[in-house]
Amino acid sequence: MLILGIESSCDETAAAVMRDDQQLLANVVDSQIAIHAEYGGVVPEIASRKHLENIYPVVTKALADARVGLDDIDLLAVTAGPGLIGSLLVGLNFVKALALIKKIPFVGVDHMAGHLLSVYLGEAPPQFPFVALIASGGHSSLFHVRDFHDLTLLGRTRDDAAGEAFDKVAKLLDLPYPGGPEIGRISREGNPQAITFPRSWLEPGSYDFSFSGLKTSVANQVNKMKKGTLPLPVADISASFQEAVVDVLTQKSIRAAQEMGCKTVVVAGGVAANSRLREMMTLECDKAGLELAMPPVSFCTDNAAMICVAGFHQYQQMAGSPLDLDVYSRSPHLMQG
Ligand code: KG4
Ligand code: ZN
């Protein structure tokens, strides 16, 4: 079986071709970062127009890279939500048109399910059950995963998502968009112990996250330091902020795995590209005697290979989606957070 996956939920137009044994034949990601960077964040109207321009060439390139034609495709998988409505509509309608003309079944996939299953693109896929942390620009969620379609949401962010906190703090420090990778880079030159920023553990036993207090604390610190005569210690502030986020993400994930009786922790989503998070997760899981599974860095941020994996499993479990399937901006049920 050959799967063509398409992702257009935010600022990446992506297409991938995968065999059902998870062998990836093509993986094309066209990022709009350079366009949105000028505005300091994603402009939804520009994003959807760019998806419209990009989707045909991106899909054509994916098919060419895989050396296959549309007639070879057995299943179409596309992100149906959560994300920007105008952007999602471009991907979904493109796929519906292909499905209709070529009479290929299609599935509308949840973007979060895609991030979660991106771990199967790595070399050491996890064994069920496991606890999964999905940390991206829009979500910071912890799931107890017993099987591909048997999972429980344990906790979610109550305010800013982890990636959103990275992006907002980067803005405070006048670093370019997207802030996450910039903070990750600059933190390598800073001292993570320079400033002790607050860790929001919330009430005992809670698996929820909250990063807005941390962001405010960084803002207060930056304002105070800007009044002084010394240059702003951007690397130290970045490293100290990053340490606070990574500390909470790591400790809550490990506690969840222990309390759920799971031997494995999975970490995915854009923030899983952060090298300090990968390092601390590796160290702490090792100490706790837990296995750790993370997708390769290139599959942490948005891509269509993860949509192929999620689409394939969804199609095996359920039928294809109907042609009147709609997009959604927020996850309606289990995958919310
Ligand atoms: O999963 P993703 O590509 O898109 C969403 O579904 O949101 O995640 C993007 C988020 C952004 O907030 C970005 O700043 C963050 O992931 N991110 C990082 C890193 N790379 C991307 N955050 C911290 N360190 C990184 N290296
Ligand atoms: Zn994403």
Span from the CA of 83 to the centroid of ligand 2 (angstroms): 9
Q: Is 114 in the pocket of ligand 1 (CB under 6 A)?
A: no
Which ligand 1 atom sits nearest the alpha carbon of residue 163? Answer: 12
pLDDT confidence bin for 48, thresholds 50/70/90: very high
Nearest CA to ligand 1 atom 22: 180
Superfamily per CATH, domain 127-294: ATPase, nucleotide binding domain (3.30.420.40)
Span from the CA of 323 to the centroid of ligand 1 (angstroms): 32
pLDDT (tens digit per residue) in 120-134: 998 889 999 999 999
CA distance 26 to 241: 37
Question: What's residue 154's pLDDT?
Answer: 97
Q: Is 271 in the pocket of ligand 1 (CB under 6 A)?
A: yes
Mutate to test the pocket of ligand 1, among 271, 281, 330 (most ligand atoms within 8 A of CB): 271
Which ligand 1 atom sits nearest the alpha carbon of residue 300? Answer: 1
The neighbouring-strand residues paired with 267 are 133
Span from the CA of 115 to the centroid of ligand 2 (angstroms): 7
Average pLDDT over every residue of 289-301: 97
Span from the CA of 85 to the centroid of ligand 2 (angstroms): 14
- Burial status of residue 62 (CB atoms within 10 A of its CB: 0-12, 13-18, 19 or more): buried
Average pLDDT of the chain to the nearest whole number:
96
Q: Which of 31-45, 287-301, 318-332 has the highest mean pLDDT?
A: 287-301
Which ligand 1 atom sits nearest the alpha carbon of residue 162? Answer: 12
SS3 of residue 179 by DSSP: helix
What pTM value is reported for the model? Answer: 0.96
Span from the CA of 163 to the centroid of ligand 1 (angstroms): 5
CA distance 268 to 116: 6
Nearest CA to ligand 1 atom 7: 137
> CA of 325: how far to CAs of 89, 100, 108, in Å?
11, 13, 8
Which residue carries 């305010």 as its tokens? 159
> CA of 92: how far to CAs of 52, 97, 116, 309, 325, in Å?
11, 9, 20, 17, 9
User: What secondary structure letter does DSSP report for 175?
Assistant: P
Exposed e or buried b per residue across 255-274, where buried means at least 16 C-beta atoms within 10 angstroms of its C-beta: bbbeebebebbbbbbbbbbb
Question: What's residue 331's pLDDT?
Answer: 75
Residues surrounding ion ligand 2 at CB below 5 Å: 136, 302
SS3 of residue 334 by DSSP: coil
Alpha helix (H) residue ranges in the chain: 33-37, 44-66, 85-102, 111-117, 162-172, 179-187, 212-226, 234-260, 275-288, 305-317
Question: What's residue 335's pLDDT?
Answer: 56
Span from the CA of 310 to the centroid of ligand 2 (angstroms): 13
pLDDT (tens digit per residue) in 52-93: 999 999 999 999 999 999 999 999 999 999 999 999 999 999
Examine the pLDDT at 336 and tell me if it is beyond 60.
no
Span from the CA of 104 to the centroid of ligand 1 (angstroms): 33
Share of the chain above pLDDT 70, in %: 98
Domain boundaries, the chain: 2-116+300-318, 127-294
The fold adopted by the segment(s) 2-116+300-318 is: Nucleotidyltransferase; domain 5 (3.30.420)
Question: What's residue 149's pLDDT?
Answer: 86
pLDDT confidence bin for 337, thresholds 50/70/90: very low
pLDDT (tens digit per residue) in 216-252: 999 999 999 999 999 999 999 999 999 999 999 999 9
Q: Is 81 in the pocket of ligand 1 (CB under 6 A)?
A: no
Whether the ω angle into residue 178 lies within 30 degrees of 0, i.e. cis, is: yes
Question: What's residue 333's pLDDT?
Answer: 52
Query: Dihedral of the CA atoms 234, 235, 238, 242 (nearest 10)?
Result: -170
The answer to whether 2-116+300-318 and 127-294 have equal CATH topology is: yes
CA distance 133 to 143: 7
Question: What's residue 332's pLDDT?
Answer: 62
